[in-house]
Amino acid sequence: MDNPFKSILRTNTIPSDSECQRIREFLVTSKQDAAKLEHLQSLLEELTAERDRLDAFIDVHLALITPVRKLPDDVVVEIFKATMPTNRNVAMSESEAPLLLASMCRSWRRLALSTPRLWPSFHIVIPSTAAEILRLNETVNLWLARSSVLPLSISLSAH
């Protein structure tokens, strides 16, 4: 766009009253264009939100027909066992099996919590506060109960 005021932009020149009026008139189209773009941006945000809602709707319904839902429990348990570390004891963390597996869905939680082979190996990081020690005590008791009568492998570390 050709700008008749280019020569006085970024200067200390004070425009006259008539120049101020011409500048206002010159900006009308740009302001209208900016308003149109703002409206389009708002529409785009609405459409993006609607697409996100549709994607979520599709995803939860596709989950109903995934092949993993058809696997027998004993196969799922074998897969769970294959996710367990073999070169170290399991970290007692939600970001690692078996706690991660138990957090995926109700049926996996049921399977993970009822499969003692997932629980007899764990690593304990000794906490530094009494409150953390109490929480750890509860957690260790849960792991021991879930491991049933299986032989244990427990490792310890302190920070």
- How does pLDDT run across 13-28, given as a tens digit for each residue? 899 999 999 999 989 9
Q: Is the pLDDT of residue 159 over 90?
A: no
CA 104 – CA 91 distance, rounded (Å): 18
37-55 tens-digit pLDDT: 999 999 999 999 999 999 9
Q: Kindly list the domain boundaries of the chain, sorted by start residue.
A: 16-63, 72-158
| Peptide linkage before 15 cis (omega within 30 of 0) | no
How many Å apart are CA 118 and CA 138, to the nearest integer?
18
Phi (first) and psi of residue 45, to 5 degrees = -65, -40
- Cα Rg of the chain, angstroms: 32
Q: Say if pTM beats, i.e. exceeds, 0.85.
A: no
Confidence of residue 150 (pLDDT cuts 50, 70, 90): very high
Q: Which amino acid is at 119?
A: W
